[in-house]
Amino acid sequence: MSGEPEIHCPKCSYRPAAEDRWACLPGCGTQWNTFWTHGVCPGCGHAWQDTQCLACLKISPHRAWYHYPDGGELPEIEEESDIEVAAR
């Protein structure tokens, strides 16, 4: 098995901190750490596909933040573009 993934921004390598928060907007307005739930809002259960970086403010697919040590390629999936808004 491949072990725990490294989580960091695919654009700038920013590592999300435990106290970082994202907001479910437009949506239910819940603020939470999206990496604790793999992008699923704990307030309404919406699964966000894209996550905005708190450091560089670029938007990347949520799964692109997970970097697995075995270098496994993630399949490219075209999905609806939901974007989380940085909450700080």
**Is the CA virtual torsion 35, 37, 40, 43 positive or negative?**
negative
How many Cα atoms are found within 13 Å in the side-chain-facing hemisphere of 56? Answer: 12
Burial class (CB in 10 A: 0-12, 13-18, 19+), 79: exposed
Determine the interface stretch with Zn ion among 15-23, 37-45, 63-71, 72-80 (rule: CB under 5 A). Answer: 37-45
Choice from 12, 25, 64, 74 touching Zn ion (CB under 5 A): 12
Residue with Cβ nearer Zn ion (17 or 28)? 28
Shortest Å, Cβ 34 to Zn ion: 11
Residues engaged in binding Zn ion (CB under 5 A): 9, 11-12, 14, 24, 27-28, 30, 41, 43-44, 46, 53, 55-56
